[in-house]
């Protein structure tokens, strides 16, 4: 009887163990199926969002009429064909007076620091871009719209005043790579968020590029006065009405890149800036004072190929 009893218990244990293993396998199978289901759903949602983005109608609202508005220009448009469009939105011009010598140390030889009433200026300009596309090409929603922020000063060569960029941070790696490769402009990739709410433009940028120093900007801004067009001879005109940029190519040879846009529709502005290390990343120090602020809702522009000088 003992043998029979022991055999019965052993059989029962074997059956119980088998049932337990089966339940574990079923549970694992269920969990695997559930994970697979979630994975498929996530992939489906991702592909759906990607398809929606890639097939979304491009903006196509570039204002080509600006090409007929030329009386305000300080010199005629180039005779050659322009090659690119851009539309700039919700710009903040934040400017500080800085030392000419401090800027000259950071600017290539041959680019004379431009001054207004013997004062040089440094600008930090956050904005959002659309319609970024070569001529005859449609704007593509996944590469033609992104935030950008530049740190700049003003130089003049051969009597033509222009902009010199210390840095340009952008939320589009494709644009960053193209600008660095083709134009040797100091572009950097950045994680950037732009949100218009509560009457303000909320702007946050953190440089993620492995090249260059870390740089961050967090703030919000808004216009405070009606739109005015800057007049020649004023500081506002000096800081904004510029129709070329200057840089050096991969052989360290200077070049000029002409642009065209209508007169700037400027508004006085206010801003609350909680973080700003953009100038510091360029090796420059901002004075301990409030910046001069201007806002512009929109500006359309075209650009020409660079021309060696």
* Tens-place pLDDT, residues 145-169: 999 999 999 999 999 999 999 999 9
User: What pLDDT sits at residue 25?
Assistant: 52
Give 18's pLDDT tier (boundaries 50, 70, 90).
low
Cβ burial, residue 203 (10 Å; 0-12/13-18/19+): buried
Q: Lowest mean pLDDT: which of 57-61, 116-120, 260-264?
A: 57-61
pLDDT for 43 equals 37
Q: What's the whole-number mean pLDDT along residues 178-205?
A: 97
- Measured CA distances, 158 to 197, 235, 249 (Å): 44, 21, 18
pLDDT score, position 13? 43
Mean predicted confidence (pLDDT) in 36-46:
36
The dihedrals phi and psi of 109, each to the nearest 5 degrees, come to: -60, 140
Contacts of 279 (CB under 8 A, 6+ apart): 96, 122, 124, 151, 166, 285, 286
Question: Over 50: is that where the pLDDT of 262 sits?
Answer: yes
What's the Rg (C-alpha) of the chain? Answer: 29
**Residue 180 pLDDT > 60, yes or no?**
yes
Q: Are 255 and 249 in contact (CB under 8 A)?
A: yes
Q: Could you give the 3-state DSSP secondary structure of residue 30?
A: helix
> Is the confidence at residue 24, as pLDDT, over 90?
no
Q: Band of the pLDDT at 36, cuts 50, 70, 90? A: very low
In degrees and rounded to multiples of 5, residue 28 shows phi and psi of -65, -40
240 to 60, 130, 190, 264, 307: CA distances (angstroms)? 26, 20, 25, 7, 22
Angstrom CA distances, 124 to 5, 74, 127, 193, 276, stand at: 89, 24, 10, 16, 9
Show the tokens assigned to 6.
Answer: 């022991």
Res 53: pLDDT: 37
The burial of 125, by beta-carbon neighbours within 10 Å (0-12 exposed, 13-18 middle, 19 or more buried), is given as: buried
Which pLDDT score is estimated for 59? 53
pLDDT above 70: residue 26: no
The mean per-residue pLDDT over the stretch 103-132 comes to 97
Tell me what pLDDT residue 140 has.
82
Report which of 181, 159, 128, 175 is spatially closest to residue 246, judged by C-alpha positions.
Answer: 159
Would you say residue 65 has pLDDT above 70?
yes
| pLDDT number for residue 141 | 74
Q: CB atoms < 10 A from the CB of 34, how many?
A: 10
Q: What is the overall mean pLDDT for the chain?
A: 86
Average pLDDT on 30-49 reads: 38
User: Using an 8 Å Cβ cutoff, are 186 and 209 in contact?
Assistant: no
Q: β-pairing, 160-170 with 187-197?
A: parallel
In this prediction the pTM is: 0.81
Question: For residue 138, what pLDDT is reported?
Answer: 85
If DSSP codes are grouped into helix, strand and coil, which group holds residue 20?
Answer: helix
> Is a pLDDT exceeding 50 seen at residue 309?
yes
- Check pLDDT > 90 for residue 8: no
């Amino acid at each position: 009887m003992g043998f029979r009893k022991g055999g019965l218990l052993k059989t029962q244990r074997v059956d119980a163990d088998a049932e337990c293993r089966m339940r574990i396998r079923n549970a694992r199978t269920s969990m695997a199926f559930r994970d697979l289901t979630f994975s498929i759903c996530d992939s489906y949602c991702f592909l759906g969002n990607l398809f929606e983005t890639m097939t979304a109608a491009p903006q196509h609202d570039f204002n080509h009429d600006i090409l007929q508005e030329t009386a305000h220009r300080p010199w005629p448009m180039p005779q050659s064909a322009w090659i690119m469009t851009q539309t700039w939105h919700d710009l903040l011009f934040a400017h500080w007076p800085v030392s000419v010598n401090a800027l000259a140390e950071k600017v290539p030889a041959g680019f004379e620091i431009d001054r207004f009433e013997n004062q040089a200026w440094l600008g930090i300009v956050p904005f959002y871009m659309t319609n970024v596309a070569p001529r005859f090409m449609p704007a593509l929603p996944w590469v033609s719209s992104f935030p950008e922020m530049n740190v700049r000063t003003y130089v003049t060569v051969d009597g033509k005043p222009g902009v010199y960029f210390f840095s340009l941070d952008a939320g589009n790696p494709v644009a960053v790579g193209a600008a660095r490769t083709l134009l040797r402009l100091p572009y950097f990739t950045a994680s950037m968020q732009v949100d218009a709410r509560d009457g303000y433009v909320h702007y946050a940028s953190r440089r993620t590029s492995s090249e260059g120093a870390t740089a961050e900007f967090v703030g919000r801004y808004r216009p405070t006065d009606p739109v005015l067009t800057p007049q020649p001879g004023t500081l506002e005109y000096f800081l904004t009405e510029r129709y070329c940029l200057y840089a050096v190519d991969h052989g360290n040879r200077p070049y000029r890149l002409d642009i065209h846009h209508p007169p700037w529709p400027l508004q006085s502005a206010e801003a609350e800036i909680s973080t700003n290390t953009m100038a510091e990343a360029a090796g420059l120090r901002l004075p301990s004072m409030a910046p001069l602020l201007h806002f512009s809702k929109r500006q359309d522009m075209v650009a020409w190929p660079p021309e060696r000088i």
